[in-house]
């Protein structure tokens, strides 16, 4: 189908006709007197006006589209503002983080979630010479501080000290009921964990929202008295000075390390997944009760040069390792009692 002629097409046609007439010795004055000429000029004028009107209509339509978009945006902004004013900004942000990252901001120290896979991507390459000749984890006792620092503290060589808990009252007193009394509802100890410190539910996220939930378990579940019990494994840090002072009455600083403390506990069948800690210092963990299997792996770039290490921690033993260098996971294997560990970083 042919397109309708535009004003420019008609004007060009007129100019062509005029040139043809002038070529045949007909003057422009005579041409302008022709009825057909006036009719063509009128058509050009009408076409020009319709084109201008169309252009104006397009401009108006474009402006209307912009106003519609702005109206929708301001409408959505108004709905969000109304929601925030009704429910509160804190609740809105907290619920958003729960759905996106499964993080409860009320119990987190950082607003931005720590994404382990991103930290692994930007992690600097490890020096494989540090683990190349490590074939096993040494078990030692009666070690001096100087010997420990020279051979193990900063060499990334894991070690187990077997005699550092001989006089600890924690070995006899620490159990589920002990911590349940210490972290009772409305206590300073529990409040500090929920408001300031960190709580790690690991694979029990759906069940334990806070540390208080852990100590609401009944005794049958907590002590694994049922045949088909459901395993549980949690950890938390302590930031309350009065609680730290009380806990220190039950254990002393390992004779080869500075004093700091964190605690965790769990039942058989669960543990921490394979991961690497993003901290600056090596750490120690004391196996107060129960038995726990540790698996230590070198960084991926060192898998061919270094060996994976598997060890079983017995009650009364302390393991010292750099968890920022060794990938590690744990698994509680004791069947007759709850696994309880306490530990800390050291400098």
SS3 category, 264: strand
The sheet carrying 327-332 orders its strands as 309-313, 292-297, 327-332
CA 218 from chain centre, in angstroms, equals: 32
Give residue-wise pLDDT tens across range 336-345.
Answer: 788 999 988 7
Burial class, 157, CB count within 10 angstroms (exposed 0-12 / middle 13-18 / buried 19+): middle
Homologous superfamily of 126-167+271-346: Cupin (2.60.120.650)
Q: What's the pLDDT score for residue 261?
A: 46
Q: What's the pLDDT score for residue 330?
A: 92
What residues does CATH 2.60.120.650 cover in the chain?
A: 126-167+271-346
- pLDDT tens for the chain, 347 residues long, are 555 555 566 666 666 666 665 555 555 566 556 555 555 555 555 545 454 555 555 555 656 667 777 777 877 877 777 765 655 666 666 666 666 655 665 555 555 555 555 555 566 778 899 899 999 999 999 999 889 988 998 888 999 999 999 889 999 999 999 999 999 998 999 998 888 888 888 888 888 999 999 999 988 888 888 878 888 999 998 888 899 899 989 998 889 875 554 555 555 555 566 767 766 678 899 999 999 999 999 988 899 999 999 999 999 999 999 888 899 999 999 877 889 999 887 77
């Amino acid at each position: 189908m042919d397109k309708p002629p535009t004003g420019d097409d008609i004007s060009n046609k007129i100019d062509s006709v005029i040139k043809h007439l002038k070529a045949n010795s007909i003057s422009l004055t005579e041409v302008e007197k022709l009825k057909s000429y006036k009719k063509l000029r009128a058509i050009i004028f009408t076409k020009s006006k319709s084109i201008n009107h169309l252009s104006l209509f397009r401009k108006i339509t474009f402006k209307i589209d912009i106003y519609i978009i702005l109206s929708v945006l301001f409408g959505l902004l108004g709905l969000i503002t109304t929601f925030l004013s009704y429910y509160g900004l804190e609740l809105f942000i907290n619920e958003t983080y729960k759905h996106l990252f499964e993080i409860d901001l009320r119990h987190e120290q950082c607003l931005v979630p720590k994404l382990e896979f991103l930290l692994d991507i930007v992690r600097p390459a490890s020096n494989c010479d540090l683990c190349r000749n490590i074939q096993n984890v040494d078990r030692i006792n009666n070690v001096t501080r100087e010997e420990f620092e020279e051979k193990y503290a900063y060499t990334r060589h894991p070690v187990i000290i077997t005699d550092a808990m001989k006089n600890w009252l924690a070995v006899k007193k620490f159990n589920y009921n002990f911590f349940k009394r210490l972290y009772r509802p409305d206590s300073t100890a529990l409040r500090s964990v929920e408001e300031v410190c960190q709580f790690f539910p690991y694979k029990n996220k759906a069940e334990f929202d806070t540390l208080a939930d852990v100590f609401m378990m009944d005794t049958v579940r907590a002590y694994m008295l049922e045949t088909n019990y459901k395993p549980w494994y949690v950890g938390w840090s302590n930031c309350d000075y009065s609680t730290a002072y009380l806990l220190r009455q039950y254990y002393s600083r390992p004779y080869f390390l500075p004093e700091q403390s964190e605690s965790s506990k769990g039942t058989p069948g669960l543990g921490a997944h394979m991961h690497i800690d993003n901290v600056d210092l090596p750490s120690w963990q004391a196996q107060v009760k129960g038995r726990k299997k540790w698996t230590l792996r070198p960084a991926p770039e060192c898998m061919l040069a270094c060996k994976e290490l598997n060890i079983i921690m017995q009650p009364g033993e302390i393991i010292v390792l750099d968890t920022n260098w060794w990938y590690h996971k744990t698994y509680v294997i004791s069947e007759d009692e709850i696994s309880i560990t306490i530990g800390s970083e050291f400098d």
